[in-house]
């Protein structure tokens, strides 16, 4: 009787798998996500990429999003490296000093489209930066950049650097933190998930974020002013990576399928998702009555004068790692223009 029940149960599992379209022999990877399921990064970037992996593998490779993050946002690179999770994503700048070359795509004035910058970023990474192996200990699946960073606050309109003085801004790590300091503001390093808490409690007067994040983190009621900088005040670099032992354990066909779905394909999926939600975020800001202005030529000139050293500092760092930093930046800008024209 027990054997019959076990066999019947097994038949149900197999039947369910067949009806769902999932191969009984499919390999499965577990992915940790530190953002809520409804966040645009999960809904319109990670999930479409997971679907692309499944499609490329003809259902032979399945990636399951875990219901709860296995660690804090800054821990996610090491979660993959150490095998706590099979696949993770995260922000390079959340671990200041660890990833030096990825800051190239975070510098001011690179572009207004996340899709354009992300695709160009991946191409330049493969051409110039991959050999340095900053992602040692994992298998890098993809890179992306969010849309142009915007100055948000709940105190006053920001039309010049002087208007920013005396205000406290939540910022992420990496270039954006250094840019904030160069502009003379009080910068408080914290992950994006801390925005609501810091703004609602008055710990921060403002934050540096793309417009997408104002809607997705429910910040419209906590902010009154936004200043857009043509080309972006900054961008943020993200990684998508996995445990090398798990990658090696996949069949050769599933390894190939995973890589086809990743790389530039992931960059394009991600960039399109960011651009879509930047537009939705701006619409939500407008509906909430947040006054949005665009920095004029005088303000842009002030920002360039204050932050210009960030690029020369990055070039020097790259040169020290054996990479021609000036050539990378020239190629990155040329590739951004090329992708924009495609």
User: Which residues are CB-neighbours of 244 under 8 A, at least 6 positions away?
Assistant: 137, 138, 139
Residue 26 resides in a domain: no
Residue 150 resides in a domain: yes
pLDDT digits (tens, 9 = 90+) for 294-305: 999 999 999 999
What is the predicted pLDDT for the residue at 96?
Answer: 87
pLDDT digits (tens, 9 = 90+) for 277-299: 999 999 999 999 999 999 999 99
Q: Per DSSP, what are the bridge partners of residue 330?
A: none
Residue 336 resides in a domain: yes
Q: What share of the chain is helix, strand, coil (3-state, %, to 5)?
A: 55, 15, 30
- The CA distance from 118 to 232, in Å, is 14
Q: Give the three-class secondary structure for 146.
A: coil
Domain range for 216: 89-342
Residue 293 resides in a domain: yes
pLDDT digits (tens, 9 = 90+) for 151-199: 999 999 999 999 999 999 999 878 999 999 999 999 999 999 999 999 9
Residue 318 resides in a domain: yes
Residue 35 resides in a domain: no
84, pLDDT greater than 50: yes
Tokens standing for 87? Answer: 């696949």
Residue 70 resides in a domain: no
Question: Quick one: which of 92, 84, 76, 85 has its CA closest to 29?
Answer: 85
What is the predicted pLDDT for the residue at 174?
Answer: 82
What CATH number does the domain containing 174 carry?
3.40.190.170
Number of domains in the chain: 1
Residue 52 resides in a domain: no
What is the predicted pLDDT for the residue at 299?
Answer: 98
Burial 212-242 (b: 16+ CB within 10 A, else e): bbbbbbebbebbbbbbbbebbbbbbbbbbbb
pLDDT band at residue 33, thresholds of 50, 70 and 90? very high
Q: What are the C-alpha distances in Å from 53 to residues 118, 141, 248, 340? A: 19, 11, 16, 26
What is the predicted pLDDT for the residue at 1?
Answer: 39
């Amino acid at each position: 009787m027990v054997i019959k029940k076990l066999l019947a149960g097994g038949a149900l599992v197999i039947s369910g798998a067949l009806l769902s379209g999932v191969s009984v022999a499919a390999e499965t990877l577990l992915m940790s996500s530190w953002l809520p399921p409804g966040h645009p990064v999960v809904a319109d970037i990670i999930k479409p990429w997971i679907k692309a992996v499944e499609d490329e593998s003809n259902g032979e490779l399945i990636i399951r999003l875990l219901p709860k993050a296995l660690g804090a946002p800054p821990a996610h690179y090491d979660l993959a490296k150490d095998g706590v999770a099979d696949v993770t994503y995260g922000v390079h700048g959340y671990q200041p000093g660890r990833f030096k070359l990825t800051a190239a795509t975070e510098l001011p004035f690179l572009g207004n489209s996340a899709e354009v910058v992300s695709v160009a970023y991946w191409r330049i990474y493969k051409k110039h930066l991959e050999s340095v192996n900053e992602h040692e200990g994992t298998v890098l699946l993809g890179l992306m950049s969010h849309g142009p960073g915007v100055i948000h606050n709940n105190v006053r309109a920001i039309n010049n650097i002087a208007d920013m003085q005396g205000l406290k801004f939540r910022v992420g790590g990496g270039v954006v933190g250094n840019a904030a300091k160069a502009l003379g503001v009080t910068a408080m390093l914290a992950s994006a998930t801390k925005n609501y808490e810091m703004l609602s409690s008055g710990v921060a007067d403002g934050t540096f974020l793309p417009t997408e994040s104002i809607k997705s983190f429910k910040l419209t009621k906590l902010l009154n002013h936004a200043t857009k900088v043509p080309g972006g005040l900054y961008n943020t670099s993200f990684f998508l990576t996995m445990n090398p032992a798990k990658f090696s354990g996949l069949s050769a066909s599933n390894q190939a399928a995973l890589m086809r779905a990743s790389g530039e394909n992931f960059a394009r999926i991600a960039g399109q998702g960011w651009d879509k939600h930047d537009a939705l975020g701006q619409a939500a800001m407008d509906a909430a009555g947040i006054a949005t202005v665009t920095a004029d030529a005088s303000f842009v000139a002030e920002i360039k004068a204050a932050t210009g050293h960030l690029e020369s500092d990055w070039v020097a760092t790259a040169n020290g790692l054996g990479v021609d930093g000036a050539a990378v930046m020239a190629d990155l800008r040329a590739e951004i223009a090329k992708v924009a024209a495609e």
